[in-house]
């Protein structure tokens, strides 16, 4: 009994320290917590955890020099940098990457980057990985997860130390819409079975893109979404939300904050699991009723973010198509669509203009 109790307590303690969980998050409806058939008060449990803090080693911090933040002189006045629910919107000039890198290095995080290379989309993998090696999470540990039905077509690419490329074999589907919608299910299942034991954060993006500027830990948060480049300045009426009340993706015309892109989202493994599980279950319910949301997985993602607000939002710097031109507010183009022959890549879902 003694050993079992300590194993259970160790698992809880590990979860709290690794993922930043609080006891009230884990057990919001209960005043007491059960351990091995005994009721211990929250105060007793908290005291036990607090005593274990004494065993932690103090982190030695290096001295850092940087300009003082100016309370009355914000770095960006031309764009919205924070939402009404106090989630930051990440633009160039709104953060100091050196400070952020120091914080994340202390935690020793590993980041997973997922892409789907189904059928002819395998042709994009080489450019995607090579540009990621130049610009994505430099100096941090990264797992590249490539979902594919053609493992033999994925090139062998050498990646930097501390990084690895993992090929995940998945089924093929006839329609691109099916691939688009099934990826929520696949990310959910692999998050539960594998990712939870391998990485701390997951970044889920489209493969027919390339990195063209630095993308670092400034994007990481519990759960983040990305502004769609076609709708960042539009009103609710212009958003292509699912408007049929019969659909699980339905959003009324007087609701919604932003229009989020389906090709760039992420967060902690737990939060990504919750997001993808919601989207997949909603899709399956619609399918039973012979419905398919207007923009497939993107529609369900937007529904989720209406009622489960992201804790961080990435600006259009992080997802851009040069066909839109270059507006004045766009100081950096970090992740852009790859020019492609749409006849060769049939049934392509491009970034909508």
Tokens 């450019």, residue?
127
Task: Output the pLDDT for position 25.
Answer: 44
Q: 160 pLDDT exceeds 70?
A: yes
Boundaries of every domain in the chain: 2-53, 89-337
| CATH class of the domain at 89-337 | alpha beta
Q: Is the pLDDT of residue 5 over 90?
A: no
Average confidence (pLDDT) over 83-93: 99
Q: Which of 37-46, 178-187, 188-197 has the highest mean predicted lDDT (pLDDT)? A: 188-197
pLDDT tens digits, one per residue of 234-264: 999 999 999 999 999 999 999 999 999 999 9
pTM, full prediction: 0.83
Q: For position 177, what pLDDT does the model report?
A: 65
pLDDT at 30 over 80: no
CA dist., res. 24 & res. 28, Å (int): 5
Active site residue: 133, 185, 242, 298, which one? Answer: 298
Of all residues in the chain, what percent carry a pLDDT higher than 90? 73
pLDDT of residue 149: 94
Output 156 or 343, whichever has higher pLDDT. Answer: 156
Confidence of residue 33 (pLDDT cuts 50, 70, 90): very low
- The per-residue pLDDT for range 277-301, each reduced to its tens digit, is 999 999 999 999 999 999 999 999 9
- Would the pLDDT of 93 be above 60? yes
What SS3 class is residue 316?
Answer: helix
298 is catalytic: yes
Which residues are annotated as part of the binding site for Mn(2+)?
206, 208
DSSP per-residue letters across 136-167? BSTTSEEEEEEEES-GGGS------TTEEEEE
Specify which residues 266 forms β-bridges with. Answer: 203, 224
Question: Which residues lie closer than 8 Å to 188 by C-beta, 6 or more apart?
Answer: 273, 276, 277, 280
Supply the pLDDT for residue 40: 55
pLDDT at residue 109, as a whole number: 97
Least confident of 81-90, 112-121, 335-344: 335-344
Shortest CA distance to 133 belongs to which of 160, 108, 151, 111?
A: 160
**pLDDT tens digit string along 101-139?**
999 999 999 999 999 999 999 999 999 999 999 999 999
């Amino acid at each position: 009994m003694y050993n079992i109790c300590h194993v259970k307590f160790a698992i809880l303690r590990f979860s709290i320290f690794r993922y930043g969980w609080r006891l009230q998050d884990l057990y919001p409806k209960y005043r007491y917590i059960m351990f091995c058939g005994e009721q211990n008060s929250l105060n007793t449990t908290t005291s036990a955890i607090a005593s274990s803090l004494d065993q932690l080693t103090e982190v030695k911090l290096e001295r850092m020099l940087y300009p003082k933040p100016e309370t009355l002189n914000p770095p960006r006045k031309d764009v919205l940098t924070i939402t009404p629910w106090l989630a930051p919107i990440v633009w160039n000039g709104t953060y100091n990457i050196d400070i952020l890198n120091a914080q994340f290095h202390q935690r020793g995080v590993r980041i997973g980057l997922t892409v789907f290379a189904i059928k002819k989309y395998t042709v994009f993998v080489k450019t995607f990985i090579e540009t990621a090696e130049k610009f994505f999470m430099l100096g941090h540990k990264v797992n590249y997860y490539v979902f594919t039905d053609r493992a033999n077509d994925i090139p062998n690419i050498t990646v930097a130390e501390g990084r690895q490329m993992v090929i995940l074999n998945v089924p093929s589907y006839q329609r691109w819409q099916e691939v688009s919608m099934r990826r929520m299910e696949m990310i959910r299942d692999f998050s539960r079975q594998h990712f939870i034991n391998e990485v701390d954060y997951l970044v889920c993006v489209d493969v027919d893109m390339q990195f063209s500027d630095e993308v670092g830990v400034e994007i990481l948060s519990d759960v983040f979404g990305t502004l769609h480049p076609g709708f960042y300045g539009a009103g609710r009426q212009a958003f292509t939300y699912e408007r049929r009340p019969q659909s699980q993706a339905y959003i009324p015309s007087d609701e919604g904050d932003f229009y989020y892109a389906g090709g760039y989202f992420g967060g902690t493994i737990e939060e990504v699991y919750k997001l993808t599980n919601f989207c997949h279950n909603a899709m399956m319910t619609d399918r039973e009723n012979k419905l398919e949301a207007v923009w497939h997985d993107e529609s369900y993602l937007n529904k989720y973010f209406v009622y489960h607000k992201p804790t961080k939002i990435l600006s259009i710097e992080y997802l851009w198509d040069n066909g839109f031109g270059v507006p004045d507010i766009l100081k950096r183009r970090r992740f852009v669509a790859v020019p492609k022959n749409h006849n060769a890549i049939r049934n392509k879902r491009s970034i909508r203009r």
